[in-house]
Amino acid sequence: MTLASLFAQADGGVNVAQNVGFYIIAAGMLWAAFRVVSTKNVVHAALWLVVVLGGIAAQYILAAAEFVAISQVLVYIGAVMVLFLFGIMLTRATIGADTDVFNKGWAVGIPVALLVFGVLAYVTIDFTEDSLLVDPTEEQIAATTTAISDGYLGPYLVPLIAVSFVLLAAAIGAIVLARKD
């Protein structure tokens, strides 16, 4: 008997362990995201971004999307973060904390962000009201990856080929832009 099975379905359909995990991870993610946009050290911002991306992967697992979670870890934490760290190391003039990391009009961002959040939160709560998410069954979770591959090789085949061309064009374009003549 694990702790999770002890807590599961204790409150009339609400999965308590899932909720506790969600709120702990969400609090850590929000703090890390705040540090990403507020820290003065560029390298620290990149490392806080790792925390946010890892938290999002954990939320995917809570939402029964294991394949996307693994892809998130491989692509973002594995590849994109290495790109970011290379970009910082190749462009950064100062070591340690920067002096002026904000624009002159940075304070405008606060009301804009609050307005965006207010509108999104109002619409979200108005749209979902108090509906509950239904936990997927074991069979659905086990068949998720099969269903994704069926989607990619079925109705989404043409977009998949298009995305592969986008990636090819982006790779060639990045080489052309960044090489020294």
Partner 1 sequence: MWAFNFLLLSAALFSIGVFGVIARRNAVMVLMSIELILNSVNLNLIAFALMNNSIDGHVFALFVIAVAAAEVGVGLAMVLMIYRNRRSISLDELSEMKG
Q: Which of 122, 136, 126 is nearest to 65 (CA)?
A: 136
Of 79, 76, 21, 87, which is closest to residue 49 (Cα–Cα)? Answer: 76
* Total Cβ atoms within 10 A of residue 131: 7
- Report the distance separating Cα 110 and Cα 66, nearest Å: 35
CA distance 70 to 77: 10
Q: How far is the CB of 138 from partner 1 (least distance, A)?
A: 14
Please count the CA atoms within 13 angstroms of the CA of 8 that sit on its side-chain side: 6
Residues 147 and 139 sit within 8 Å (Cβ to Cβ): no
Q: Which is nearer to partner 1, 5 or 103 (CB)?
A: 103
User: Would you give the DSSP letter of residue 11?
Assistant: B
As given in the structure block, the two tokens for residue 131 are 């509906």
Judged by CB, which is closer to partner 1: 1, or 110?
110
